Amino acid sequence: MPTARENPAQRSQRSQRLAWRLLLLALGGLALAATLWLLSQREVLELGAAALPPGESKSPSVLAAQPLDVVFSDAILSLPSYLHRDERGQLAGKVIDLWDCVFKHAGTSAQYRLLPNRRSIQALLSGEADFHGARVIHEQGPKAFDGRLHYTDLVIAGYEVLLVRSADRQLLADELWWRQRVAVVRAEVVNSRVAAMGGEIAIRAANRVQALKLLVGKRVEVLLYTSNSPGEEHKRFQEHDISGRTLGRVNGHGLLSAERHRVSPDLLARINRGISNCRHLLINRDISVLP
């Protein structure tokens, strides 16, 4: 603190020393901040490198030349004619035949694997996988990942179907059918309708055969699922009379990841041309198990 005996020159010198000290402190703070920033950037780079297995950090041109990593939700195994494992444990079926044809026309190749339903989409969003081979959405509904993932042209169209035992066909006209005991097939897109209307799903069947057995065995009153045929065309299952009603349409698409689209911006157009050439492989092949 200044004293009574301090002259103007002394006060000036003291002020200059204080100013220098403050300047040095400020420079030290800037240096510390810069050091911390550099360390944080180094950590980000190290974490990014650690997230990739050895040898996975590749240039866009190398990545674009790699086979597509194609994932499916394991729920599709409920349609064994569409997707199943062969005697060697490899994925096979009509969907594999379709995409093999499409990717051949697109000038690329693919390797296929199964993941749990949510995990399959997460893998696509994170860039871990390149393509999802069977994303079903409501015809009039929003494309849930539009803007983050790239939808192919339509691959197959189907129906959202409500089925009951023929003796209970009056339930088909009841708009409160969701108050009954309802069965669905696990992980199907149509399942959300039950909760959206205020109901609860009684049983989630592993596949369509199990779901239909639940219905004709009187474990449930109503079955909601997707089919390639309108609900009104479903008449029998294992000698049991059933009746159906169409609630809406659903569409099947492939999904391309944002990362693969970035490195191969023309790939989606080539895949769509392949779909146009190969879609006939699925035409008139009912995805339901009903006769």
CATH code for the domain in which residue 150 is found: 3.40.190.10
Provide the pairing of β-strand 91-92 with 84-85: antiparallel
Average pLDDT, the chain: 80
Residue 192 region by backbone torsions, left for phi larger than 0, else alpha for psi between -120 and 50, else beta: alpha
Q: What is the DSSP letter of 174?
A: -
Phi first, then psi, for residue 157 (nearest 5°) are -110, 145
- The model's confidence at residue 53, banded by pLDDT at 50, 70 and 90, is very low
Phi first, then psi, for residue 207 (nearest 5°) are -155, 180
Do 116 and 165 lie in one domain? The reply is: no
Q: CA 62, 63, 66: angle at the middle one, nearest 5?
A: 90
Helix segments in 70-129, DSSP class H: 94-105, 117-126
- The amino acid sitting at 271 is I
Do 147 and 260 lie in one domain? The reply is: yes
Do 173 and 231 lie in one domain? The reply is: yes
Long-range contacts, 279-285 (Cβ 8 Å, 24+): 279/98, 279/155, 279/156, 281/94, 281/97, 281/98, 281/101, 282/94, 282/95, 282/98, 282/155, 282/156, 285/81, 285/94, 285/228
The predicted model gives 220-227 an average pLDDT of 93
The predicted model gives 198-217 an average pLDDT of 93
Do 150 and 270 lie in one domain? The reply is: yes
Least confident of 73-82, 136-145, 149-158, 265-274: 136-145
The Cα 240–Cα 263 span in angstroms is 53
Percentage of the chain modeled with pLDDT above 90? 49
Residue with tokens 């205020």: 198
Domain count along the chain: 2
Do 188 and 225 lie in one domain? The reply is: yes
Give the pTM. 0.68
Do 135 and 258 lie in one domain? The reply is: yes
Do 66 and 150 lie in one domain? The reply is: yes
Residue 219, domain member (yes or no):
yes
Instruction: Report pLDDT for 163.
Output: 97
With 0-12 / 13-18 / 19 or more C-beta atoms within 10 angstroms meaning exposed / middle / buried, residue 188 is: buried
Beta bridge partners of 69: 111
Beta bridge partners of 249: 159
The predicted model gives 87-91 an average pLDDT of 90
Residue 178 has pLDDT above 60, yes or no: yes
pLDDT digits (tens, 9 = 90+) for 249-290: 988 899 999 999 999 999 999 999 999 999 887 754 444 333
Instruction: Report pLDDT for 92.
Output: 92
| Domain coverage including residue 103 | 62-156+252-281
Instruction: Report pLDDT for 227.
Output: 87
The Cα 30–Cα 14 span in angstroms is 25
Do 142 and 70 lie in one domain? The reply is: yes
Least confident of 14-23, 34-43, 180-189: 34-43
Mean pLDDT comparison of 132-136, 143-147, 222-226, highest-scoring range: 222-226
Do 148 and 272 lie in one domain? The reply is: yes
